[in-house]
Amino acid sequence: MSLLTVGTVAFDSIETPYGKAEKVIGGACTYISWAASYYTDDIRLTSIVGHDFPAEEIKTLEARGVNMEGLKIVKDGLTFFWAGRYHENMNQRDTLTTDLNVLDDFDPELPDSYKDSKYIMLGNLTPDIQIRVMEQLTDPQFVALDTMNFWMDIAMDRLKEAISKVDLLTINDEEARQLSGEYSLVNAAQKIFEMGPKYLVIKKGEHGALLMSKDEMFFAPALPLALVKDPTGAGDTFAGGLMGHIAQTGDTSFDNLKRAVIHGSAMASFCVEEFSLDKLKTLDKDQIAERIKRFTQMMSVDL
């Protein structure tokens, strides 16, 4: 079923202890859409780029069944650019440059053909834009929103308004604490459910992901890897796999959300193995199935 993906499409320059990548393709919406494209072929991308964005990247996504009608190309503008350097432990990074460029004036107007989208993945962006997208939807079945501490620092009220409208919120553990004012993730989750969402995924990077509803809890480990080359986009790729699976199955039961979290984790485990989208672009169904199997093995116990 239809999956609307919203977020940045960007250039990234990345330094990690394992190498450098200069002005490669990045952006939340790019990672989300690539990951989801392995699950469903009715993806509707919503973003903005400048004249400098390569036409072939757009074609490649189109060839994977991603509708690019919602990608606004600003002829006299430049694509959003982010540069960052990861520390030795890969869990921390310094932002070196953030050039908003065309993103500064992004006012997402959905094409008519997008408005009936059933499944929605709102990647990290200003809460204003996230709300603006939701206002244009005619029949959303399940809306997921990703955000970050930056918006909690500067636009908490508007962010809470956005959060109040969604079914699933994905944030990391520190953000869950900041948003709720509670240190314990169990208590943080209960506060967040009072804000509106029915489900919460707490992303813990190399430590896995915790899916919670008011009454249920599920933990998906991250796959330990011999080499993590570049963590950029892992959270977005996770979201893409998760919502891709949900859109593919049309099932938003807690049991299926559990499966979706494993699919998200599997896709994220591919993402970090190479810089940028290098690995994500090369996958096939067998590789994904094999990786899902490794997750199953890692989690299965007969008590």
User: Does 184 sit near a copy of itself (CB under 8 A)?
Assistant: yes
The SS3 of residue 160 is helix
Q: Which of the stretches 41-49, 102-110, 148-156, 182-190 binds a copy of itself when contact is defined by CB under 8 A?
A: 182-190
User: Does 187 sit near a copy of itself (CB under 8 A)?
Assistant: yes
User: Does 299 sit near a copy of itself (CB under 8 A)?
Assistant: yes
CA distances from 87 to 19, 84, 125, 171, 174 (A): 12, 10, 24, 21, 18
CA distances from 124 to 6, 29, 97, 183, 270 (A): 8, 9, 18, 23, 21
User: Does 193 sit near a copy of itself (CB under 8 A)?
Assistant: no
Q: Which is nearer to a copy of itself, 72 or 204 (CB)?
A: 204
Q: Is 280 in contact with 31 (CB distance < 8 Å)?
A: yes
User: Does 219 sit near a copy of itself (CB under 8 A)?
Assistant: yes
The SS3 of residue 206 is helix
Q: Which of the stretches 22-30, 99-107, 122-130, 211-219 binds a copy of itself when contact is defined by CB under 8 A?
A: 211-219
Show Cβ contacts of residue 166 under 8 Å, excluding neighbours closer than 6 positions: 122, 134, 143, 144, 145, 196, 197
Cβ at position 217, least distance to a copy of itself in Å:
5
Query: Can you list the alpha helix ranges (DSSP code H) found in the chain?
Result: 28-36, 55-63, 127-135, 149-154, 156-164, 173-180, 185-194, 234-249, 254-271, 285-299
Q: Which is nearer to a copy of itself, 157 or 302 (CB)?
A: 302
Q: Which of 185, 192, 242, 268 binds a copy of itself (CB under 8 A)?
A: 185
Site map for a copy of itself, 268-297, x if CB under 8 A? Answer: ------------------------x--xxx
Q: Which of 65, 87, 109, 183 binds a copy of itself (CB under 8 A)?
A: 183
Q: Which amino acid is at 286?
A: D
Footprint on residues 93-152 left by a copy of itself (CB under 8 A): none
Q: Which of 20, 87, 207, 214 binds a copy of itself (CB under 8 A)?
A: 207
Footprint on residues 222-261 left by a copy of itself (CB under 8 A): 224-228, 255, 258-259
Q: Which is nearer to a copy of itself, 6 or 262 (CB)?
A: 262
Show Cβ contacts of residue 91 under 8 Å, excluding neighbours closer than 6 positions: 205, 206
- Sheet arrangement for strand 66-74: 66-74, 43-50, 3-6, 119-122, 142-146, 168-172, 199-203, 209-212, 217-220
**Residues making contact with a copy of itself (CB under 8 A):** 88-89, 183-187, 204, 207-208, 210, 216-221, 224-228, 255, 258-259, 262, 292, 295-299, 301-303
